[in-house]
Structure formats: structure tokens, C-alpha cells
Structure 1
Amino acid sequence: MRGTGTIVNVLAVLLGGSLGLFLKRGLKERYQEILMQALGLCTIFIGVSGALKGMFVIEDGSLSTTGTMLMIFSLVAGSLIGEWIDLESKMEAFGEWMKARFGGKDDNQFVEGFVATSLTICIGAMAIVGALQDGMTGDASMLYAKAILDGVIVVVFASTYGKGALFSAIPVGIWQGSITLFAKALEPVLTQQIIGDLSFVGNMLIFCVGVNLAFGKRFRVGNMLPAMVFVVIYDAVVMLI
């Protein structure tokens, strides 16, 4: 049945988050702090490895770079639009709304946990390609694999940030479910080149999330999200030229 992959992914996030909350109750503050630093470091290297995979190519036996103009155009234009719209404050406002109903006044990490976890598990090629495969052919195997990875990630996030990490299941369900639902219409637009470039820029944003986790907030990653739209615009223009 189409859509099963996203349902399983959402359930894995909820299960992993619940396990993380259980573990958090037994962790002293100093352990939570070192865990957050370790999580940030892991996220940094996940982002770096994915970005470098998209940026470096071997041509005629030598290493060269590609995608520089794509990177500059999409991140600069996307960040300017995102800052104008102020997407991050809207994500935080949604987090505050959920906190008021489900988190509690004393849960100071609810919003940060929701935003950081959502950005980490929603950005990436597996979410796009897996949801497309599920919608077009009913093959949800990639989303099943992603569900396992996300479950493990959310265990760590929830054990560090608390209840807010569980609510990342909402944007996962909306994002992947929408792609699956409109897969037939998106298939001609999302070529392999575009999906690869989305993964490239998405991994750069994941790197920024990792820096924020490890060193405190340095990047307004939410305001950089429109860069993903400008990746598609850039590739479309290049194809026309």
C-alpha cells in the first residue's frame, strides 16, 4: 500500500523518541551535555561526508570540484528569502504552540529539540527518493531503512533534548506524505540531477545543524531552507540553457 513507508517512519520516530525520553530520566546533566556534543559532532560529519560526495568528482584520473555556482546561488538566494520570510521564527512559534499544549512551562529545550530533530531527519535524499518510490511504485524499502536510521537518531535527540524531539514526527509525516501523494506529478520534475543536487545542498544544511548542536546556535538553518527550492530553479535554468 502506498504511504506505508511514511507511516512506518513516523512510528519509528515516536518509538525512538519514547525510548530516548526513558533514557533521559536516568542521565545526569553532565552526561546530557557530553551527549549533545557527541551528537553535534556526528551530525557535522554526516553533513560533511554527504556534501563532499556531491562536490568532488574524479575526471581523467584527477580530483576536481563541481556544483560551486549551484551552492553559492541556492544558499545565498535561499537564505535571503528565508530571512525575509523568517521561517525559523515560524518553526519556533509552532514549537512554542506545541510546547504550550504538550511540553510544559519548565521544558526549556522543547522548541530547540523539535526544530533540530526535524531539520536533521527531514533534509536529505532518502526522504525525497524514498517517498517518490513509495508513491510511484509502492516500493517503500528505502523509507523502511530511513525509519531505522531516524529511530536511532531520535533516541539520541530525545535523550538529550527531551519531549520536543518526538514531535519531529509531524513534519516528517507531512513532508514525506506530501511527496508520496504527489509523486506522479513530481516524477518529471525531480530528475536524478536535481535529487543529487538537493542532497548536496541538504547535507550542507545538516552540517550547519551539527555546528549548532555542538557549539551553540551559529546558523539560522530554518531561514536557509528555501535554498532547496533554488536548487530546483538553478537546475531548471541550466537545463534550458
Structure 2
Amino acid sequence: MSGLGTLINALAIIAGGIVGICCKKLIKERYQETIMKATGFSVMFLGAGGTFSKMLVTTKSGLPLDTTGSMTIVLSMVIGAFAGEIIDLDHQFERFGSWLKHKTGSDGDNQFINGFVTASLTVSIGAMGIMGAIQDGIYGDHTTLVAKAILDFVIVLIMASSMGKGCIFSFIPVAAWQGLITALAVVLSGYMTAPVLNSLSMVGNILIFCVGVNLVWPKTIKVANLLPALIVAVLMA
């Protein structure tokens, strides 16, 4: 059944958030801060590792490794940042988070919006979700999204233990984004070539690295305003 992988992914995020909130009551506040920074550094290394895995290539020149895609990264990030600042996607995310905060009766939760935005960007960005959604739509293969669901369960659990129930609602952008790609998978399949996926992975993992920076040093980068970089990376590829 097409879309089952995204459904499993969304349910895993909800479950991880609920478990994280239950754990929050058992963890002292000073522990939560340390856990948050540890999560941030982990996310940074995951992003950096994903980027380098696509940038570093073997060569025949005698050197063990060479780099590729540097210009794609620079142009995608710069043009994407410019477009993102014009649209101000970061503000749109916060507006939606504020609306959710009010609708869920969480007006007294000062961490709700930050938790929602940070968790949403962490679990929504990346080529794994895009590739998995395409496989789900075309072949009915849920394997990649099930693996992503397990990762997202752990990530959201840890984030929710520090930032609260706003993290649970990150399932909404994940379901919307991956569901849309699954629905359009037949149309997009011809464009998802190896260069396109490599570009998406490189730039997407840089954005994941930026999310990790914000976990360690809050509100350093407006990551949502960098999301158009993904579109620029695809167009360049």
C-alpha cells in the first residue's frame, strides 16, 4: 500500500515524543541540558558524515580521495538563503507552531514552538525521506521509511525529553512532505537521477548539521530559511 511507510514514520515520531515526555519527568533539568547538547553534537556529526559521504570520491591521480560538488553546495546555500529570507520560511514555521500551541492548549509551554520547529527540521530534511517516499510510491517498498522511522523515534524521544510536547507535532510536516512526494512519485521518478540524489543528500545533510548547531547554540541559524537550497541543488543537478 502506497503511503504506508510515511504512516509508520509519523506514528514512530508520535510514539517517540510520548516516551520522551514520560522520560522528561524522570530526568532532572540539568541533565536535560546536557542531553540536549549531546543530541546537538550527534546531529551535527550525522549531517557532516552524510555530506562528506557524497563529497569525497576516489581518484585515479594517486591521491586516495578528492572532493566533488563544492560549487553546487556554495551556490545552493547562497541562492537558497537569499530566497528563504525573502519568503521568511522560518517565520512561517513559527507561526504554524504558535497556532498549534494555542490549538493544543499549550499556551503555558514556553518550549513548544522551539521544540516543534527544531524537531520538524531535524526529521523532515534529508535525502532518506525523499528516496524512501519515492520507493514507497513507485514500488510499494517501505524499507527505507521504516528504517527512518526507527531513527526518528530515537531522535524525537531525546528531543522531547528536553523540549517537551512540541516535538510530537513534527509528525505533521513529515507526513505532509513525504506524503506529497509519494503521491507525485510516478511523475518525479524520471528526475530522481543519481546526480540529483547526491546533490539533495549533500545540501540536505548540511541543513541537518545546521539544526545540530542550533541545538548546541540556540537560534544561531534560521534553518527553515535555508530550505530553498534543496530546490536549487535539484535544479543545478
TM-score range for the pair, normalised by the shorter chain length: over 0.9
Output one character per residue of 1:155-185: Cα deviation in whole Å (capped at 9) or x when no partner: 0011111000000000010011111111000
Q: CA RMSD in A?
A: 0.9
Amino acid across the alignment from 1:50:
G
Among candidates 107, 115, 134, match of residue 117 of structure 2:
115
Output one character per residue of 1:59-98: Cα deviation in whole Å (capped at 9) or x when no partner: 1142211111101110000000000110000000000000
- State the Cα distance separating 1:105 from its structure 2 match: 2.0
Q: Within 5 Å, which residues of 2 pair with 1:50-199?
A: 50-60=50-60, 61-62=62-63, 63-199=65-201
Amino acid across the alignment from 1:188:
G
Normalised TM-score (structure 1): 0.95
Does structure 2 conserve the Cα–Cα contact (< 8 Å) formed by 1:103 and 1:163?
no
- State the Cα distance separating 1:219 from its structure 2 match: 0.8
Match of 1:139, SS state, is coil
Cα distance in 1 for partners of 2:111, 2:165 equals: 8
- Which 5+ residue runs of structure 2 have no aligned equivalent? none
1:11 aligns with 2:11: yes
- Which 5+ residue runs of structure 1 have no aligned equivalent? 236-241
Q: Please list every run of at least 4 consecutive aligned residues from structure 1 whose deviation after the TM superposition is greater than 6 angstroms.
A: none
- State the Cα distance separating 1:102 from its structure 2 match: 1.2
Specify the alignment match of 1:239 in structure 2: none
Specify the alignment match of 2:24 in structure 1: 24
Cα distance in 1 for partners of 2:152, 2:228 equals: 23
Cα distance in 2 for partners of 1:165, 1:41 equals: 18
Match of 1:50, SS state, is helix
Amino acid across the alignment from 1:224:
L
Cα distance in 1 for partners of 2:195, 2:235 equals: 12
* Distance verdict in 2 for CA 1:103–1:150, change over 3 Å: farther
Amino acid across the alignment from 2:141:
D
Equivalent pairs, count: 235
Does structure 2 conserve the Cα–Cα contact (< 8 Å) formed by 1:103 and 1:110?
no
Cα distance in 1 for partners of 2:178, 2:163 equals: 24
Cα distance in 1 for partners of 2:45, 2:234 equals: 25
Specify the alignment match of 1:36 in structure 2: 36
- State the Cα distance separating 1:103 from its structure 2 match: 4.8
Cα distance in 2 for partners of 1:166, 1:196 equals: 30
Amino acid across the alignment from 2:13:
V
Cα distance in 1 for partners of 2:159, 2:222 equals: 19
Cα distance in 2 for partners of 1:187, 1:122 equals: 20
